Chain A
Amino acid sequence: MIVVGLIASAVGIAIGLLIDWFPTVGSKQAHKIDTFWDVLIICSVPVFVLVTTVVLFAARDFRMRPGQENLDGPPIHGNTKLEIVWTTIPAVMLVALCAYALITLSDIEKAPAAGNERQITATGQQFAWTFQYNEGGKKFSSTQLYVPINESVKFNVKTDDVLHDFWVPAWRMKIDAVPGITTHYRVTPDKLTGPAGYPVVCAELCGLGHAFMRSTAHVLSKAAYAAWVTKMTTAAAPAAPAGGGGQTAAVDGKTLFTKGETSTGATACGGCHKLADAGTVGGVGPDLTTAIKGKDAAFIKTSILDPNAEITPGFDKGIMPANYGQLLSPAEVDALVKYLQEVAAK
């Protein structure tokens, strides 16, 4: 049994370490947390194997055979030595793990030894993230996150309404956005992203659109980040996207409606709205098939840019993000309005 247990533990640990559990390792902190996970796997598997093996061997070896119907087991009431052993060993193991956890925790939360730390404010609102930067005294904001590689970033996390949770799985760190206070964490991204970037997720249930409160984080080289900052601070448009590119081509309103505008993170309208013409079935917002019937362009434009101006009966204020004016270029808004008006007139 001991042999079987040892083999099973070894196999279990090997499998536990071989499985690719985590998403991309994208920060210094992530390395430490992943190592911590491996240690936990090595400690946990043998415990599980021990219990399972004893259960299985007991079921095999001590199973009632025919003719033993009236037999009882030996009346063993306890064994003090054994009980002390299985109280002490787990206690020591757990204290050791706690000590290791404490060291890891202070490592991943430590401020960089020297130099200024970049501060970015992440603000959650139902159901979108906004990131505010302060570069060289100039303040600007974006809806996708951009950070340079290998520099520690301290995130100040805030919320405009309910609890949210700012999480980039590739960086492993997360913290709630709590009304009334500012929470913090820091990461040092150490891996460049491609154009796809890392997903940014809201991890705390925040209402209807919780599942769709996603954004993208881009880790750029220092030069690329500087170029992006320059563009952001000089461009007239409040949130020109970097690395997007494609939106100069003729804008198709219907595509925008169904697919969204990925470079700025503007969520597709169809994710929340039903519209027969576009074939979308979202149920979070009003059914546009009927809601915009016979409405004019001005109404549609207002509804996109300032969704709280007029609310369809039965729906609540503040569910639709009010930042489409920043996410979409004027040309895109016009294309969307044109498309919707065509549908409305049908």
Chain B
Amino acid sequence: MKLRQPGWYRAAAFIFAAAVFSFGLSWIVRSAYGHGHYTHYVEVESILLIGMIAMPLAFLVGLGCFDYWFYWASGRPTRPEDHSSHGATSWKDYFRPNTDHKVIGIQYTVHSFFFLFVGGLMAMLMRAELAQPGRQFVDSNTFNGLFSVHASILIFLFIIPVFAGLANFVLPLMIGAPDMAFPRLNALSFWLLPCAGVLMLASFFAPGGSFASGWTAYAPLSTTAPLGQMFFTIAVQFAGASSIATALNFLVTIITMRAPGMSFFRMPLLAWANFSTSLLVVIATPFIAASQFFVLLDYALGWHFFDADKGGDPLMYQHVFWFYSHPAVYIMMLPGFGIVSEVLAVKSRKPIFGYRMMAFSLLAIVVLGFTVWAHHMFVSGMQSWIRIPMMITTAIIAVPTGIKIFSWLATLWRGVIRLDTPMLWAMGFLTMFTCGGISGVMLSMVPLDIHVSDTYFIVAHIHYVLFGGSLFTIFAGVYYWFPKMTGRMFDERLGKLHFWTTFVFFNATFAPMHIIGVNGMPRRVADYADQFATWNLVISLASFGLGLSSLIFAYNMVASWRGGARASSNPWRALTLEWQVSSPPPVFNFDQVPTVVGGPYEYGVPGAVHGIFGPAAPAEAKATPAGSHTQPTTE
């Protein structure tokens, strides 16, 4: 019986059962409160609300994400560990809960890129609408929905998970672990994401339109909005749960599963970056979960967390929200720092300059990241004295970031630079992220922030940071590890074409936004004053070019995966462990446990090796500054 086996059939049946359950629960509770057979549309609303929580959970159970734990919890014999859910032999294996970190990494990455294209299409629609003043394609409500869903999807379903995906694939390989610490939790983390994504997209079909209060969902707009708002409120819970579970998994994996000899200061910087990011996620993400639960209670049950007339406080929403969402900016950036460190060192054939400072600056950003949330609220009406300490901490966070930029520049210096696709993206990242960082420092200055907050200057800044910053590093990483993930080489010429078209159109799209922002165009508007018409037309045209350039990437990835040249195990001659195994790697990563004997970036050091395979021979550690302080531990 297919319905008794975990899988898509059972998931569909469970979703149906959850829908019935939602209807029943709503009906019973409403009857108990004396509503009887009352058939006002509000009832549909309560059914949908319960369904939004029940149906994704039922889907996960039906798919089999919880099976092992249920068996274990009920005391039934768990199935013997036959590794049947490990590894992938056909494309179908990517559509079930898989416990292999490499499969999960690819699931995450492909899934995230799907949402990148969806979010990008929404941006195209918005730019089409904004190409001219007045109304052309969509009405105000749809427009507000478009930018809200665009931002939410790209933040919660693209940038954050795609980094988790890349790290999922390479991080255990890099630190010499056979898998992540909690493979089943890892599978669950991934399958929570489509639930969030489907919810967010489904909100377009909600009565009253999709959620339209921006990805920030400020109360009281969000607590008084139509039902579509709840799709965001609940979707964020699923995306957040996924992040937290993944982050815990990374933390435990990094702390406990490093190969013999892999001390913290012999870890590749990508591992450091994900360690720092995971700390941020674990501490910060519960705050957005809390803020959205408050909104849910206000909306659905008439509580008054944010209702000023009844003693609630709309400013509290912003404080709690930004206590997550500011660190989230670094959640979306630190893993990219890790990727760029890998690419730059390998492609310049030089050790990372100031390895330890690079690691410490990551931790400094983590700590400082928690002290700056109120800089989003300089004009929010909060008490004015907070602005000063927040201005100073915000400005100072540029120092560790600057250390990283300068160290990367020093890494480039006197290297033997291979200007191939991953390197172009990494170098493009250096310049574009600097641009976003500079406008960030400008924004930290309260007097200027008063003028430009909530304008297109902010839109420009956030896109320079998240597109020119995060997305460029993501492209660098995808190209860099493509041979390892697929066992094929990508098309170098298409890759370069993709970089240059993206780079040019990216700047043509977002640079003018600085100008119209300072000149007084507010953000999140479906229409604008005629004086901004020319620049908006330029921006819209450039943005279509930017959209088209991503098609080159999509074609390159699909075509190369199907028919690219076979990749050797180490096409970049890198030292880190993931390149010392075959492409793609064997199911349990290493046929022999590696022993780490030196730093990860010892390019130019004669005879340097990062790790050796085979029995932990009394290998002599290379005395290098990055790896000299510990001897390999033997187990």
Using CB atoms and an 8 Å cutoff, list the residues of chain A in contact with chain B.
Answer: 19, 21-23, 32-33, 36-37, 40, 44, 47-48, 51-52, 54-55, 58-59, 62-64, 68, 71-79, 82-83, 86-87, 90-91, 94-95, 97-98, 101-102, 104-105, 108-109, 157, 161-163, 165, 167, 169-170, 172-181, 183, 199, 201-212, 214, 272, 281-284, 316
Contact with B395, one of A59, A78, A94 (Cβ below 8 angstroms): A94
Establish whether residues B398 and A90, one from each chain, have CB atoms under 8 Å apart when the complex forms. yes
Which B residues are in CB contact (< 8 Å) with A97?
395, 441, 445
Known: A74-B414, A163-B221, A174-B451. 12 other contacts (CB 8 A): A48-B435, A51-B434, A62-B417, A64-B416, A68-B416, A98-B445, A108-B447, A173-B450, A178-B315, A181-B381, A205-B218, A207-B144
Picked from B391, B416, B445, the residue with its CB within 8 Å of the CB of A62 is B416
**Smallest CB separation, A27 vs chain B (Å):** 11
Q: Which residues of B contact A173 (CB under 8 A)?
A: 450-451
Known: A62-B416, A63-B417, A72-B349. A36 touches B438 (CB 8 A): no
In the complex, whether B183 has a CB less than 8 A from a CB of chain A is: no
Q: Which residues B423-437 have CB closer than 8 A to chain A?
A: 427, 430-431, 434-435
Interface residue B314 (Cβ < 8 Å from any Cβ of A): yes
Q: CB-CB < 8 A to A105: which residues of B?
A: 387, 446-447
A24 CB to closest chain B CB (Å) equals 9
Pair count A-B, CB < 8 A: 273
Contact (Cβ within 8 A) A55 B144 = no
Please give the distance in Å from B315's CB to the nearest CB on chain A: 6
**B350–A76 contact, CB under 8 A?**
yes
**Contact, CB under 8 Å: A19 / B515:** yes
Most-contacted residue by chain B among A58, A64, A170, A178 (CB, 10 A): A58
Closest 7 CB pairs of A and B: A180-B308, A283-B139, A169-B520, A211-B525, A73-B350, A75-B604, A179-B308
- A94 and B391 CA atoms in complex are apart in Å by 10
Known contacts being A52-B431, A62-B417, A77-B351, is A211 close to B528, with CB within 8 Å?
yes
**Do B520 and A284 touch (CB < 8 A)?**
no
Closest to B138 in A: A283
CB distance from B516 to the nearest CB of A (A): 10
Contact A179 B451 (CB under 8 A): no
A64 touches which one: B315, B417, B624 (CB < 8 A)? B417
Could you say which residues of chain A place their CB within 8 Å of the CB of B526? 210-211
A172 touches B413 (CB 8 A): no
Q: Whose C-beta in chain A lies nearest to the C-beta of B377?
A: A176
Decide if B213 is an interface residue (CB 8 Å cutoff): yes
Max chain B C-beta neighbours (<10 A), residue from A59, A91, A179 = A179
A104–B604 Cα distance when bound, in Å, is 51
Given A52-B431, A55-B412, A86-B402, are A178 and B625 neighbors across the interface (CB < 8 Å)?
A: no
B592 at the interface (CB under 8 A from A): no
- Provide the residues of chain A in CB contact with B434, threshold 8 Å: 47-48, 51-52
Proximity string of chain B (612-626) to chain A, C-beta cutoff 8 Å, 1 when within and 0 when not: 000000000000111
A73-B354 contact given A36-B445, A51-B405, A98-B445, CB 8 Å threshold: no
Contact indicator A178/B410 (Cβ below 8 Å) = no
A71 and B438: CB pair below 8 A? Answer: no
Residues of B within 8 A of A (CB): 135, 138-142, 144, 208, 212-214, 218, 220-221, 224-226, 307-309, 312-315, 348-351, 353-357, 379-381, 384, 387-388, 391-392, 395-396, 398-399, 402-403, 405-407, 409-410, 412-419, 427, 430-431, 434-435, 438, 441-442, 445-448, 450-451, 453-455, 515, 518-520, 522-529, 602-605, 608, 624-626
B314 CB contacts on chain A under 8 angstroms: 163, 178-180
Q: B388–A102 contact, CB under 8 A? A: yes
A-B contact pairs, 22 of them (CB 8 A): A37-B448, A37-B518, A40-B441, A51-B431, A55-B412, A62-B348, A73-B415, A75-B351, A77-B354, A77-B625, A94-B396, A161-B220, A162-B220, A174-B451, A178-B314, A179-B220, A201-B522, A205-B213, A208-B140, A210-B144, A212-B140, A283-B139
